[in-house]
Amino acid sequence: MEVGQMQRQWVDYTKSLFLEGFLDSQFLQLQQLQDENNPDFVVEVVSLFFEDSERLLNDLTNSLDQQGIDYKKADAYVHQLKGSSSSIGAQRVKNCCIAFRNFCEQQNIDGCIRCLEQVKQEYCLVKNKLETLFGLERQIVAAGGSIPTMELSF
């Protein structure tokens, strides 16, 4: 596939991620921060997010898997996940966290477990999507092209 085609594919794919709500404008902010001096900024930050989130999700799963659930602790984890997901623009994950926090507040175990599943699911989805996107980017760069700038004016 030639570079131009790959670039168009990248653009379409990115657009779809926004359309489907996986990403929001915060992700654009990240892309804006990337420049020639930091060509891998977005990938780095997102990788950091993946690591951190996986740890959080594990901790969260453990915390809900107990006899006496510490909802405050669970809430703290969810809050953190909400913060980091919103920072990179992972909108659907963030939205799940919001619902999750409500259940934690209500100490609703069923609601929490459901949300946990949902959050994990959304996380996996967005992770796949982003990894696909980064794959495309690598291909473009390898083929000598440059990644188009995604510019949105709001």
Residue number with CB closer to other proteins (96 or 112): 96
Cα–Cα distance, 6 to 142 (Å, whole number) = 11
Distance in Å, CB of 8 to other proteins, minimum: 12
Shortest reach from residue 80's CB to other proteins, in Å: 6
Q: Which is nearer to other proteins, 67 or 119 (CB)?
A: 119
Distance, in Å, from the CA atom of 115 to the CA atom of 98, rounded to the nearest integer, reads: 10
Angle at 100 between CA 96 and CA 103, to 5 degrees: 150
Positions touching other proteins (CB under 8 A) are 11, 15, 18-21, 24-26, 29-30, 32-33, 38, 41, 44-45, 48-49, 51-52, 76, 79-80, 82-84, 86-89, 91, 94-95, 98, 148-154
- Distance in Å, CB of 30 to other proteins, minimum: 7
DSSP string, 55-90: HHHHHHHHHHTSSS--HHHHHHHHHHHHHHHHHHTB
Count CB atoms within 10 A of the CB of residue 60: 26
- Shortest Å, Cβ 107 to other proteins: 18
Nearer to other proteins, 92 or 116 (CB): 92
Distance of alpha carbon 92 from alpha carbon 27, whole angstroms: 13
49 or 67: whose CB is closer to other proteins? 49
CB of 125 vs other proteins, minimal distance in Å: 14
- Residue 22 · residue 92 · CB < 8 Å: yes
Nearest residue (CB) to other proteins, 24 versus 64: 24
